[in-house]
Amino acid sequence: MLFKKRKAKPNTNRRSLITMLSPKSPVSEQYRTVRTNIQFSAVDKEMRSILVTSSGPGEGKSTTVSNLAVVFANQGKKVLLVDSDLRKPTAHYTFDVSNMNGLTNVLTKSSSLEDAVSPTKEPNLYVLASGPIPPNPAELLGSKAMDEFIHDAYKVYDVILFDTPPILAVADAQILSNHVDGTILVVYSGETEMEAAGKAKELLQAAKAKLLGAVLNHKKLQDSQYYYYYGGK
């Protein structure tokens, strides 16, 4: 395996939403910087659908995508956060919403998008939980139904953010990456190995994903935790 096995961390739920709990903090400001860089990453096409993944587990992808969703909503954009980690979903814990109805229900046509989406305490931010765990996550994410879902979501939401499983663990992120406008790779400072990050990049490029850059988290500078965004390939 190319990634280190890290001890399980306690479920911090809403405590991971620093952009809601401490919007003026340096970390929140860095999330806004990431948002700005994303918006400037495409000159000719607006980035409306963005996938967030990591090379391995425990590197902060779910925390990153959740906080990005908040700062996009802060701009007044109508944002949908989609928990497309159909193996280990967490968005329903983070935003305290139901997971009885979600993405899998929409993709299998057992629910409408409108009925499956949950509002959050953050204005303009909505969450589509994973829904029941399916036996075939990769097939669902790569299906025609996913294209239809994204097409329908564009009619209602300005920005759609996808949380996906680690790319070295399963093929889900690789499969979904060419359905969206751009992809961000999250790496954990001092933990993610260069070989693992390089392999993750290669897999995304092989899938013809538009890799926007990487978010390096838990990099300590001047006794504070900052999140940095590095654009480009």
pLDDT digit string, tens, across residues 112-156 = 999 999 999 999 999 999 999 999 999 999 999 999 999 999 999
Distance CA 213, CA 5 (A): 24
**222: pLDDT strictly greater than 90:** no
Rounded average pLDDT over 154-169: 96
pTM of the model: 0.87
Rounded average pLDDT over 57-86: 95
**Could you tell me which of 189, 177, 183 has the C-alpha nearest to residue 232?**
183
pLDDT given for residue 4 in this prediction: 40
Distances (CA, A) of 189 to 115, 128, 144, 192, 204: 39, 29, 37, 6, 20
pLDDT given for residue 195 in this prediction: 87
**61: pLDDT strictly greater than 50:** yes
End-to-end CA distance of the chain: 24
Condensed to tens digits (0 to 9), the pLDDT of residues 17-30 reads: 999 999 999 889 99
**Which of the two residues, 81 and 40, has the higher pLDDT score?**
81
**219: pLDDT strictly greater than 80:** no
What is the chain's mean pLDDT, rounded? 87
Q: Residues 6 or more apart from 173 whose CB is under 8 A from it?
A: 51, 53, 164, 165, 166, 167, 183, 204
Sign of CA dihedral 130, 131, 137, 138: negative
